[in-house]
Structure 1
Amino acid sequence: MNKFNKIIKNEEGSMTLLWIGVLGGMMVLFLFVLNLSKVLAVKEQANTTSQQASFAATSVIYDNLSPSISSYDNYILSLNLDPLPKLLSEKIAEMESSIRSNPRYRDYSNNEISLEAMDRALTSELSGGFEPELLKNLLENALQGAVPTMISVARDTIAENKGNIDEAKIRLKDNRIYIRASNDFNATAYDKYIKGFRKKLFQESAGPEIGFLSSLSLGISDNWIPLGDEEITWEEND
């Protein structure tokens, strides 16, 4: 009987160890899946961070166009021509109306339609409008002065999305503003099997194409510029 009890106890001990091993393995597997899901979530967050920052910086460009468009229209009006050429603001309004009536753009937001109309009208005017050189000079002056605001807005957007500014970068290439930014991934640790660590996960996104920029000479480099620098020089010779 004692021998039988001893066997039973040994079996119970073995089963206990087996269950501990199984539970430990399940815990490791659970944490692996948990960390993997966190990686995917943080990568998506980093993509959102870079995407929103690139769109915000792009919006700054369009936000700075109104004074140039008004100055251009006022110049045309000051000539007292008869018949009066169609003003740039009128061309933009007509283009916007045309885009809104096109089923191809039914998924565009009101803001996206406005920006698309402005881009098309400016591209057309710069390539063969009433006074393209004047418009070119007006836009170049306005956009070069907007660079500090673009950088500031990009930084603020990254910070709002809990991204890292210190290693974030910006560049203007192929008429698009690109942002490379990261968010922190913190791995969940488990004993000696899975170590906890922190890693920056980077993603890169580009804003919508700004077609009329191809007609301008902004002297802006297409190299990556660190957003973490206190003073940023975004010039062609850098």
Structure 2
Amino acid sequence: MKKYIKNERGSGVILTIFSFAIVGIMLIIVLNVAMVFTKKEQASIAAEHASLAATGIVYEKVDNVVNTHEKKVVIGIDEDGNEIIEYEPLLDKVLAMESAIYASSPGISSNEAYIQAVNQVLSSEIPDDEDLPSKITAALNSAKMSISPIVQHIIAENYGKETDYEWNFLHGENRIEVIAKSEFEAVNHNGITFGSDSDIPQRGIGPVISFIEQSGW
């Protein structure tokens, strides 16, 4: 009987150790899953912020054109047969459109109203202004050269992989797409790796830049 009791106690200890091992493995698996979701969220935030920053670069470059461009309009011929030319500042048209948008949508922010105004005015002016398309194209090409560094910086700030990312302009949607990746390292316990290391990619898409369709960029 005593031998049986001792065997029972030994079995109980083994069962307890086995139970703790199972619980430990389950905790490690849960930790792995939690880390995957965390890394996925980091990559998603990095991609979204980077796509917004890239879109902001486009408007920043185009804004220089908006502030300086004047449309040449022939309003008549003088008595000597020379054209009478009037210059219409593009900025005046954008500001007038911004005021109209802001008045019709009181809840909109001034920045949103301005962006909408730029899109609407450029979409209508680019086809009818012989000098404007080349200036917009130059601004967009300048933006293109500046996008990669800012995207890389934003991704790094949000704990993404700054050396492994992509950005593209989606011509069908007139949006900038950024794909950011976050590095996942599987949990290692006592020399055992639970899962495999991998990169977790996420996609972010910026707001529509409607005037680009007219620019041919």
Under a length normalisation based on structure 1, what TM-score does the superposition of the two structures give? 0.75
1:69 alignment partner in structure 2: 66
Alignment match, 2:47: 50
Residue identity in the other structure for 2:142: G
- Tell me which amino acid in the other structure corresponds to 1:111: N
Rate the CA distance shift 1:102–1:9 in 2: closer, same or farther, 3 A. farther
- Given that residues 68 and 91 in structure 2 are in contact (C-alpha distance below 8 angstroms), is that contact kept between their aligned partners in structure 1? no
SS of alignment partner, residue 189 of structure 1 = strand
SS in 2 for 1:144: helix
Where does residue 14 of structure 2 map in the other structure?
Answer: 17
The CA deviation at 1:197 is: 4.3
Gaps of 5+ in 1: 219-238
- How far 1:113 sits from its partner (Å)? 3.6
Determine the structure 2 residue equivalent to 1:179: 178
> Secondary structure of 1:200's partner?
strand
Change (3 A) 1:199 1:68: same
Q: Aligned partner of 2:135: which letter?
A: L
* Structure 1 residue 90 corresponds to structure 2 residue 109: no
Q: Verify: 1:141 aligned to 2:143, yes or no.
A: no
- 1:200 maps to 199
Q: CA 1:166/1:156 → structure 2, altered by over 3 Å: closer, same or farther?
A: same
- Once the two structures are superposed, residues 174-222 of structure 1 have per-residue CA deviations (whole angstroms, 9 ceiling, x without a partner) of 221111110111222234664364321111111111100001133xxxx
**Helix, strand or coil: the match of 1:181?**
strand
Residue pair 2:68, 2:90 contacting (<8 A) in 1 also: no
Query: What is the CA distance between 1:157 and its match in structure 2?
Result: 1.3
CA distance in 1, matches of 2:152, 2:204: 15
Q: Equivalent residue of 1:167, what SS?
A: coil
In the alignment, which of 160, 165, 169 is matched to residue 163 of structure 1?
A: 160
Q: Distance in 1 between matches of 2:151 and 2:188?
A: 34
Q: Is the CA contact (8 Å cut-off) linking 1:28 and 1:193 kept in structure 2?
A: no
Would you tell me which structure has more strand in proportion to its own residues? 2
Q: Structure 1 residues 32 and 102 mapped into 2: Cα distance closer, same or farther (>3 Å)?
A: farther
CA–CA distance in structure 2, aligned partners of residues 100 and 22 of structure 1: 66
| Per-residue deviation, 1:19 | 1.1
SS at structure 2 position matched to 1:182: strand
Aligned residues: 205
Distance 1:112 1:28, change over 3 A: farther
- Partner Cα distance (1:18, 1:99) in 2: 72
* Structure 2 unmatched runs, 5+: 74-83
Q: CA deviation at 1:132?
A: 2.3
Single out whichever of 154-163 and 204-213 deviates more from structure 2.
154-163
CA distance in 2: counterparts of 1:186 and 1:112, whole angstroms: 40
